[in-house]
Structures are given as C-alpha cells and as structure tokens.
Chains A and B, each alone.
Chain A
Amino acid sequence: MATVELRFSALPEHVRTARLVAAAVARRAGVDESVLDEVRLAVGEACSRAVGLHQRGGIGGTVRVALTDQEKRFLIEVEDEAGPAAVPAPGAAEGGDPDDDTLGLAVITGLVEDLEVTKGADGGVIRMSWPVSAASVAV
C-alpha cells in the first residue's frame, strides 16, 4: 500500500497541492535534496497531463497520486480516469492544447530515468521512481 495517497478532482488548481505533498513525502523518504526539484516538476507535469486529458475529453473524475516509500526507491504513480484514448470533445475546456501534452511528456522523459507510461481501459498511469539515500534517517 502507498505511504501517502492523494485523490483530487481533475482541476488545474489542485496540481500545486499534489506537487507540494509529493515533495514533502519524498523528502521524508530520504530522496536527495538535489533531486527534489525534479520530483516536484515531474509530479506536476504528470498531474497537469492527467488534468488536461480529463478536460480535453470533457469528463470529470479524479486524479490519483500514490507515493510509496520502498526500501531503495521512492515510487510515484499518477493515474487518470480519462479513458483509453482521450478524444478531444467539441468545445472542450480551455487550455486543451495537445502541444502542451507533448511538451509535458518531453519534460518528464528528460527528467526521470525510471519512467513507465501505460494506458488501460479506464485511463493511464505514469510510474516514476527515484533512489532513496541509504544514509537517510526519518526524523
């Protein structure tokens, strides 16, 4: 089970909250300070992408962020409910520029070495992980 799990309505205003929570949990898990900026950015990108997929599809639903402190890795999963292939709905909400999606994935790919992007019947999952410093001591 995830160390911390977060679910939020697929709306842009909640992405910042997800970033802050992910960075705080990652820090506590022992992820190196020097990569916390990357963690924050990658989670933000994954959540923005999920929100964008929901909005372009013109559907509501929630985005789930699971933060798991494994022994040697810190795992983050961002799951959307946007369906198998988010087809743009006519008159879908503003901000639905497909270029943003491409740019977002480019940033995630450039940042995260251990990355997996999958797409299921209900939606997609982005899995990313970072090493945990062995010297870390939870305080």
Chain B
Amino acid sequence: MDLSLSTRAVGDRTVVEVGGEIDVYTAPKLREQLVELVNDGKYHLVVDMEGVDFLDSTGLGVLVGGLKRVRAHEGSLRLVCNQERILKIFRITGLTKVFPIHTSVDDAVSATD
C-alpha cells in the first residue's frame, strides 16, 4: 500500500489527512507536503493519522522536521491518533512529550494551548 495525502483548511488550521504506510520509501512525499504547506504560509498544521497503517522512525523524523519548520514561524503541529500500535512508537522514542496528540480532528483544531 502506498501513502495517500490530502489537505483541507479548517479555520486558520490546515488538516493533513494521511493514509497508508509511512516508511523510508514514502516518508519523502510527506516531507514534501509539509515543506510545501509551510512555504505557502500555513503554519498551524494538524496531521490526521487515523488512516495510517504503518509508521516507522523515518516517518517520525519527517514529523519532527515539520514541527521544527512550523515552530520557526511560531506555528504548531498537532497529531490526531488513537491507534495503540502507532502511539507506541511515539512513546518508545519519547516523542509523546514533543507532539500534542489528540483523539479527534475537532479536538486538535480547537486546541489553543
């Protein structure tokens, strides 16, 4: 399975819906998408990972890179994820302390802290 990406604006936030597998092969596509959004002046991103079947450290690296980019513009990058096997990877690497992780897109979009 390949990676699918779609974006939509919700208020001043941009929701990036990701589906499929994020690994060493597909992660560059996600990186390009995040870079493009930041270049377009979209600094408040919500990455919806509910449709992600597989995530590895390359994908984590891309998300960390995205976070660095939006923070350079005082932006934010929030994640939406309820899948235990994906959340486990964030916990193992200590990244649950780095990313705000929400249970729904609505929750992530309305979050302000």
Taking beta carbons and an 8 Å cutoff, which residues of A are in contact with B?
12-13, 15-16, 19, 37, 40-41, 44-45, 47-48, 51-52, 94-95, 97, 99-100, 103-104, 106-107, 110-111
Taking beta carbons and an 8 Å cutoff, which residues of B are in contact with A?
21, 23-25, 27-28, 54, 56-58, 60-61, 64, 85, 89, 92-93
Pairs of residues from A and B, 8 with the lowest C-beta to C-beta distance, nearest first: A110-B92, A12-B25, A48-B24, A103-B57, A104-B57, A12-B24, A100-B61, A107-B57
Inter-chain contact total with CB atoms closer than 8 Å: 61
A77 to B106, CA, bound (A): 44
Per DSSP, chain B at the interface is helix
Contact B89 A13 (CB under 8 A): no
A40 to B86, CA, bound (A): 13
Closest to B61 in A: A100
Contact B92 A104 (CB under 8 A): no
CB-CB under 8 A for A107 and B93, given A45-B56, A97-B61, A100-B57: yes
With a cutoff of 8 Å between Cβ atoms, the chain A residues found around residue B24 in the complex are: 12, 15, 44, 47-48, 51-52, 95
Contact A106 B57 (CB under 8 A): yes
Contact B56 A16 (CB under 8 A): no
Contact B23 A111 (CB under 8 A): no
A97 to B24, CA, bound (A): 11
Contact A16 B21 (CB under 8 A): yes
With a cutoff of 8 Å between Cβ atoms, the chain B residues found around residue A13 in the complex are: 25
